[in-house]
A and B are shown apart, each in its own frame.
Chain A
């Protein structure tokens, strides 16, 4: 087969029918540009949501949950005889301290492990905030400020005030933006914090933060470990959570298993379990993106299929004469397949350019996210991989769409055409 000759004929055909060629190209261009816009935006959204969640979510959290014992209390305490035994149904949770045993030492040991980026100890409790007569429910978390800054960049979430003052002062807290609004508390105000067990402390607000997640900003507050331990009336080794970040977050599930073997009594949760809802959302968006993109490409493919079929019907005479003068079926297939591929590649490249342009515009468009989201424009991803796959799928679609008409062209019987 003579590819160079087939290429020359194919290009001449395309250039002599510019309008038709451009219309065929536009189908692919539209498909690919929509593909790029869709996938850039969707992965942008996914990335944004994941980042937002992951920023504040530990890769692995060790905590002490309130749990029911599985075993039946009576049956355990009094070995059963034939008839005379009791089972206590519907038992209540036992009052236990929610502290992790030797939490601080455990945290230090884990921090030394090679997979771990850092461990932030935390002591947290449900509390009521009072600024005036109304009680507002929330939580207070005592944190180790340097490690919290390092692992969860809490310092970057501060809208007013700073973590330094939290570190320096005593009986001071920082509160979420939503919480501050509910209490009408400003930096410098004093609010009262009451724990469920009745302990009460008057603290000064030295900062206001926002995570961009309403549920958190409306309930959370932070203070130093010591302050919270003081409010709760517990000793300095009292730790309720160990939040850790790993060097590789994908290894969280594996690492959790390893930790679990080291500390069989501790309760652990990895980020995938904690963020199951966000991950499910990501999955659904990915499926949607995939379906829409495939539909667009299939539509573009049918466009090319139709145009190539028409093209071949128009070119019957030429095909007949080429075959009469010695072109083989394969040469004819090559001519028309090349046309289809050139339409695909040219249309695809134009589609990438247009797709890039519009996703750039989108990434500059203000996003009405409300006051909670820390985002000002639409989240858009620019990844070379998406552009490569766009071109690849455009190529593949036109290959398929062009193949069948081209094969048909090869089967044209020159005698029928020439004799009329």
Chain B
């Protein structure tokens, strides 16, 4: 199995309200097609780590390599382009653009990348919506959808550019049992069928136990790694 993400000795400080070391040298790899969960108590630094992995937070020490490319030290615009092409995001709060339809929301990152023609992007977007079971709501405005529906549209948006890595910050944190289950199944399917790497931060033990590997954090350290479904699944 090939390594898709490699974090080496990540150290991060917060300066407000006073200097405080959040991450104390985190190193780990993630493989292609792996479904990875990061768990830990509030304040253990797991979300901070995720935003560093996502390349949005650039203020850290250590090195990060994604898809064979060193992202540490790159400029904001380069990183934006990199995220656009290689990464998908799903957040706890759904963060769709409320003025646009579900379809437009999904198409947005692809229109930015402009790898395909707008017609083809629309076609692909509908396909992604179908994958998350939201194709019949394509023309609805994002603000008119329920929480679970919005989250699924957000997943479709994360998938539109066929990213290598999909990151989730408590993607089920705001959803009921049934919707959580749906989201989990979609992630599972992406990892096994599309060989996309999934890294999520979660509080949900069921969600974590369904993933391939759990990384447990405490006080800025990794304190344990579990394989809930056996070492090599």
A pairs with B: yes
- Interface positions of A from 12 to 68, Cβ below 8 Å from B: 12-13, 16
Q: Does A306 contact B (CB under 8 A)?
A: no
> Do A328 and B81 contact each other (CB < 8 Å), given the known contacts A321-B97, A415-B57?
yes
How many A residues touch B, CB cutoff 8 Å?
25
Known contacts A2-B112, A331-B112; A326 and B95 CB within 8 A of each other: no
Q: Which residues of B contact A328 (CB under 8 A)?
A: 76-77, 80-81
Contacts of B185 in A (CB 8 A): none
Q: Is A234 an interface residue (CB 8 A)?
A: no
| B8 smallest CB distance to A (angstroms) | 21
Interface residues of A in 395-420 (CB under 8 A from B): 414-415, 418-420
Query: What's the minimum C-beta distance from B16 to chain A, rounded to whole angstroms?
Result: 11
A2-B97 in contact given A326-B80, A326-B85, A328-B77 (Cβ < 8 Å): no
CB contacts under 8 Å to B, within A320-346, are 320-331
A2-B111, A418-B169 are known contacts. Are A323 and B80 too (CB-CB below 8 A)?
A: yes
Name the one of B47, B54, B82 contacting A324, with C-beta atoms under 8 angstroms.
Answer: B54
Interface pair A324/B89, CB less than 8 Å apart: yes
Size bracket, chain B contacts: 20 to 34
A318: CB under 8 A from chain B? yes
Q: A325 and B83: CB pair below 8 A? A: yes
Is the beta-carbon distance between B57 and A326 smaller than 8 angstroms?
no
Using CB atoms, name the residue of chain A closest to B111: A5
- Which A75-127 residues sit within 8 Å CB-CB of chain B? none
* Structural contact, B112 and A326, CB atoms closer than 8 A: yes
Per DSSP, chain A at the interface is helix
Q: Residue A317 at the B interface, CB < 8 A?
A: yes
Residues of chain A within 8 A of B108, CB atoms compared = 5, 322, 325
Distance A330 CA – B112 CA, assembled complex (angstroms): 12
Q: What distance in Å separates the Cβ of A184 from its nearest Cβ neighbour in chain B? A: 79
Task: Check if B139 is an interface residue, CB within 8 A of chain A.
Answer: no
Neighbouring B residues of A13 by C-beta, 8 Å: 99
Instruction: Report whether A326 and B113 are in contact in the complex, using a CB–CB cutoff of 8 Å.
Output: yes
Q: Which residue of chain B has its CB nearest to the CB of A330?
A: B77
Task: List B61-102 residues whose CB lies under 8 Å from chain A.
Answer: 76-77, 80-85, 87, 89, 91, 93, 95-100
- A13→B99 CA distance, assembly (Å): 7
Docked CA distance A326–B99 (Å): 19
Q: How far is the CA of A418 from the CA of B113 in the complex (A)?
A: 22
Check B57–A418 contact: CB distance below 8 A: no
* CB neighbours of A420 from chain B (8 A): 93
Count CB-based A-B contacts (< 8 Å): 70
B8-47 contacts to A (CB < 8 Å):
47
Separation of A16 and B57 alpha carbons in the complex (Å): 31
Q: Does B51 sit at the interface, judged by CB under 8 A? A: yes
Q: How far is the CB of B102 from chain A (nearest CB, A)?
A: 14
Complex: chain B residue closest to A4, CB-CB = B111
Set of chain B residues within 8 Å of A418, measured between Cβ atoms:
51, 56, 91, 93, 95, 169
Supposing A321-B95, A419-B47 touch, asked if A327 and B100 sit within 8 A by C-beta, the answer is no
Q: Report the Cα distance A355→B96, complex, angstroms.
A: 42
**Residues of chain A within 8 A of B80, CB atoms compared:** 323, 326-329
Min C-beta distance of B224 to chain A, whole Å: 25
Closest residue on chain A to residue B96 by CB atoms: A321
From A12, A325, A329, B77 is in contact (CB under 8 Å) with A329
- Expressed in whole angstroms, the Cα–Cα distance for A328 and B109 within the complex equals 11
- Complexed CA–CA distance, A322 and B98 (Å): 12
The answer to whether B97 and A326 have CB atoms under 8 Å apart is: no
**Complex formed: what's the CA distance from A5 to B82 in Å?**
18
CA distance A322 to B51 in the complex (A): 15
Asked if A326 and B77 sit within 8 Å, CB to CB, the answer is no
Let me know if B111 and A326 touch, CB within 8 A.
no
Nearest residue, chain A, Cβ from B77: A328
State whether the Cβ of B6 lies closer than 8 Å to any Cβ in chain A. Answer: no
C-alpha spacing A323/B98, complex, angstroms = 16
Interface positions, chain A 366-415, Cβ under 8 Å from B, are 414-415
Across the interface, name the chain B residue whose C-beta is closest to A6.
Answer: B112
**Chain B residues near A9 (CB, 8 Å)?**
97
Any chain A CB within 8 A of the CB of B157?
yes
- Report the Cα distance A12→B77, complex, angstroms: 24
B residues in contact with A16, CB < 8 Å = 99
Find A2's partner among B77, B85, B114 (CB 8 Å cutoff): B114
Task: Kindly identify which residue among A323, A327, A330 contacts B56, using a CB–CB cutoff of 8 Å.
Answer: A323
A330 to B76, CA, bound (A): 11
Cβ of B56 and Cβ of A325 under 8 Å apart? no
Residues of the A chain whose Cβ atoms lie less than 8 Å from the Cβ of B113:
326
Bound Cα distance from A12 to B85, whole angstroms:
25
**B99 x A327 contact (CB < 8 A):** no
- CB pair A317–B95 under 8 Å, yes or no, is yes
Interface contact B56-A324, CB-CB below 8 Å: yes
Given contacts A318-B98, A420-B93, 10 further A-B contacts (CB under 8 A): A16-B99, A325-B108, A326-B112, A327-B80, A328-B77, A328-B81, A414-B56, A415-B51, A415-B56, A418-B91
18 A-B pairs (CB sep. < 8 Å): A2-B114, A5-B108, A5-B112, A12-B100, A318-B97, A318-B98, A320-B95, A322-B97, A324-B83, A324-B95, A325-B84, A326-B84, A328-B81, A329-B80, A331-B112, A415-B57, A418-B91, A418-B93
Q: Which 7 A-B pairs have the closest CB atoms?
A: A326-B84, A16-B99, A325-B109, A328-B80, A321-B95, A328-B77, A326-B83
